[in-house]
Amino acid sequence: MPRNRLRLAGALAAVLIAAGIATGPPAQAHEKPATLAQLAERHGRYFGSATDNPELTDTAYTALLGSEFDMITPGNGMKWYATEPQQGVFDWTNGDQIVNLARAHHQRVRAHTLVWHSQLPDWLTSGTWTADELRAVLKKHITTEVRHYRGKVYSWDVVNEAFNEDGTYRDTLWYRTLGPGYIADALRWAHQADPHAKLYLNDYNIEATGPKSDAYYALAKELKARHVPLDGIGLQAHLALQYGYPTSLEDNLRRFSRLGLDTALTEVDVRMQLPATDAKLAEQATWYRDLTEACLAVRRCAGVTVWDYTDRYSWIPAFFPGEGAALPWDEQLAPKPAYDALREALR
């Protein structure tokens, strides 16, 4: 096109725009806002939520669960009491329901959890076991469950909450009977059953550097040196305003990455002493923004999962009387300041 015609076309476009006449695609203002998952994906991260089977009949809840997140964690459906209620008798009902829901919404699954001291069936906790017997029981459970979900899950929290606050091993059925080697064994068995799933150790109160997170750092370093299959450390991040923000979180994430490990914030909530006030909700929002920014600042932090996304289904009030309001959506599924802060961090 000759130059004078180009100038004429440009002038005409300017006149049309000034007159308010659309000359191109619809304005972006009318587009649907990006979800937390879509915003996180731009950084190469995921943004997930835990869920549990009883709430899956709540259609308003599942609509948000299915649209806002790209990673789902079963809160209880894959724990030992649910999956092997009688010795050698396995029940996949609850775990399968959540995996199928996630797949229907094109979401991945962080599977949780294979080895824990809590929520074990009575046949296991009331039994008297030799080391050989318990080792066989543990191997069979891990192998059977991981094989069942082989190819269907992104990762496993293989061992959950193995240490005390002072960095000593937690006195559990597993530790008492099998010694600390049960952790390496569990990782090896899980890897054999599904070589493609990422394998994590997961715990609370390890967000900041300190005795407990130091214990995980030392263990992870040792396991890596022995070529035990370990892919990541899950920092649960069950936080509470009254105890202060873990300011060394980013440094802590970074030191695990230097070992060649992924990290993830796996069970995030930020509780407060009730009643909630505007000031507390604003502080909570700052914490959500800061912890998300810490993950984004460390390349090997894979993503963030909130421990369910709404106060309607939070575990906090039942376990911490007088506390709550811990999640980015309130009991009416309305977004709180924390939700806006998450969006701000992910932008």
Catalytic residues: 161, 267
> Max CA-CA distance within the chain?
93
DSSP states of 47-111: EEEEE-GGGGG-HHHHHHHHHH-SEEEESSTTSHHHH-SBTTB---HHHHHHHHHHHHTT-EEEE
> Is the link from the previous residue into 337 a cis peptide, with omega within 30 of 0?
no
Q: List Cα–Cα distances, 48 to 149, 155, 168, 173, 303, in angstroms.
A: 19, 13, 31, 31, 8
Q: If you search the block for the tokens 């007159």, which residue do you land on?
A: 19
CA 286 to chain centre: 19
* CA contacts within 13 A on the Cβ side of 332: 3
Q: How far apart (Å, rounded) are the C-alpha atoms in residues 295 and 292?
A: 5
Q: If you search the block for the tokens 């600042």, which residue do you land on?
A: 297
CA 104 to chain centre: 19
Give the DSSP H or E segment for 267.
strand 262-273
DSSP states of 131-157: HHHHHHHHHHHHHHHHHHTTTT-SEEE
**Beta strand 198-203 with 155-160: parallel, antiparallel or unpaired?**
parallel
* CA contacts within 13 A on the Cβ side of 117: 17
